[in-house]
Structure 1
Amino acid sequence: MPATIVDLGPARFFRLPGEAIVGAAILLALPRKPRVVLAAVSGVALAALTVLNWLDMGFKQYLGRTFNLVLDWSLLGDAQSYLEDSLGRTATLAATAGLIVLVLLLFASLAYAVVRLSNVLARHSATATRGTLIAGVVWITCSSFGVQLAGVPLAADSAAVTLQSQTERVSDTLKDEAEFQKVAKVDAFGATPPAQLVPDLRGKDMIFTFIESYGRSAIEDPIMAPGVDKTLAVRTEALKKAGYHAKSGWLTSATYGGSSWLGHSTTLSGLWVSNQQRYRTVMASDHLSLTKVFKKSGAWDTVGVMPGVQKGWPEQSFFGLDKVYNAFELGYKGPKFSWSTMPDQYTLEQFQRRVHSKKHDKPVMSEVILTSSHQPWGPIPKMVGWDELGDGSIFKGIEAAGNKPADVIADTTKSRQEYGKSIQYSVTVLTEWLERYGSKDTVLVFLGDHQPIARVSGNHASRDVPISIVAKDPKVLDKISAWGWSDGLRPAHDAPVWKMNLFRDRFLTAYGSTPHPKKG
Structure 2
Amino acid sequence: MPTTLNSLKPTQFMRLPAEAILGAVVLVSLPRRPRIVLAACSGALAAVVAILNMLDMGFNEYLGRGFNVILDWSLFGDAQSYLKDTLGGPATSGITVGLILFVLLLIVLVALATVRLGNLLAAHKAGSSRGALIAGTVWITCTAFGLQLSGVPLAADHAAAVVKLRTVAIRNTLRDEAEFKKVAKVDAFGNTPGSQLLPDLRGKDMIFTFIESYGRSAIEDPIMAPGVDETLAADTKALSKAGFAAKSGWLTSATYGGSSWLGHSTTMSGLWVNNQQRYRTVMASDHLSLTDAFKKTGDYDTVGVMPGIQKGWPEQSFYGLDKVYNAFQLGYQGPKFSWSTMPDQYALEQFQKQVHSKPRTDGKALMSLLILTSSHQPWAPIPKMVPWDQLGNGSIFDAIQKAGNKASDVIADSTKSREEYGKSIQYSVNSLTQWLERYGNDNTVLVFLGDHQPIARVSGSHASRDVPISIVAKDPKVLAKVDSWNWTDGLRPAHDAPVWKMSAFRDKFLTAYGSTPHPKTN
Deviations 1:132-169 (A, max 9, x none): 11111111121222211111111111111111111111
- Once structures 1 and 2 are overlaid, which stretch shifts more, 268-277 or 48-57? 48-57
> Corresponding residue for 1:119?
119
Question: Offset of 1:108 from its aligned partner?
Answer: 1.1
The answer to whether 1:3 aligns with 2:3 is yes
CA distance in 2, matches of 1:272, 1:403: 37
Number of residue pairs the alignment of both structures matches: 520
Q: 1:373 aligns with which of 347, 367, 375?
A: 375
Q: Give unmatched runs, 5+ long, in structure 1.
A: none
Question: Offset of 1:7 from its aligned partner?
Answer: 1.6
Deviations 1:339-359 (A, max 9, x none): 000000000000000111110
> Corresponding residue for 1:468?
470
CA distance in 1, matches of 2:223, 2:55: 29
Identity of aligned residues (%): 74
CA distance in 1, matches of 2:338, 2:497: 34
> Corresponding residue for 2:102?
102
> Corresponding residue for 1:455?
457
> Corresponding residue for 1:280?
280
Deviations 1:285-319 (A, max 9, x none): 00000000000011111000000000000000000
> Corresponding residue for 2:295?
295
> Corresponding residue for 1:350?
350
CA distance in 2, matches of 1:318, 1:420: 33
CA distance in 2, matches of 1:301, 1:149: 66
RMSD: 0.6
Q: How does 1:31-50 map to 2 (within 5 A)?
A: 31-50=31-50
Q: Please tell me the residue identity of whatever aligns with 2:198.
A: V
CA distance in 2, matches of 1:511, 1:147: 62
Q: 4+ residue runs of structure 1 moved beyond 3 angstroms?
A: none
Secondary structure class of the residue paired with 1:104: helix
> Corresponding residue for 1:442?
444
Question: Offset of 1:71 from its aligned partner?
Answer: 0.9
Secondary structure class of the residue paired with 1:394: helix
CA distance in 1, matches of 2:279, 2:503: 13
Secondary structure class of the residue paired with 1:60: helix
CA distance in 1, matches of 2:7, 2:197: 50
> Corresponding residue for 1:28?
28
CA distance in 1, matches of 2:81, 2:161: 32
CA distance in 2, matches of 1:224, 1:267: 25
Q: Please tell me the residue identity of whatever aligns with 2:204.
A: K
Q: How does 1:240-319 map to 2 (within 5 A)?
A: 240-319=240-319
Q: How does 1:368-447 map to 2 (within 5 A)?
A: 368-447=370-449
After TM superposition, the score normalised by the length of structure 1 is 0.99
Q: Give unmatched runs, 5+ long, in structure 2.
A: none
CA distance in 2, matches of 1:227, 1:395: 23
Secondary structure class of the residue paired with 1:324: strand
Deviations 1:55-88 (A, max 9, x none): 1111111111111111111101110110000000
Secondary structure class of the residue paired with 1:169: helix
Secondary structure class of the residue paired with 1:444: strand
> Corresponding residue for 2:12?
12
Deviations 1:467-491 (A, max 9, x none): 0000000000000000010000000
Deviations 1:382-415 (A, max 9, x none): 0000000000010011101100100010111100
CA distance in 2, matches of 1:413, 1:282: 38
Q: Please tell me the residue identity of whatever aligns with 2:458.
A: V
CA distance in 2, matches of 1:130, 1:246: 75
Q: How does 1:313-328 map to 2 (within 5 A)?
A: 313-328=313-328
Q: How does 1:157-306 map to 2 (within 5 A)?
A: 157-306=157-306
Secondary structure class of the residue paired with 1:294: helix
Q: Please tell me the residue identity of whatever aligns with 1:204.
A: K
Secondary structure class of the residue paired with 1:447: strand
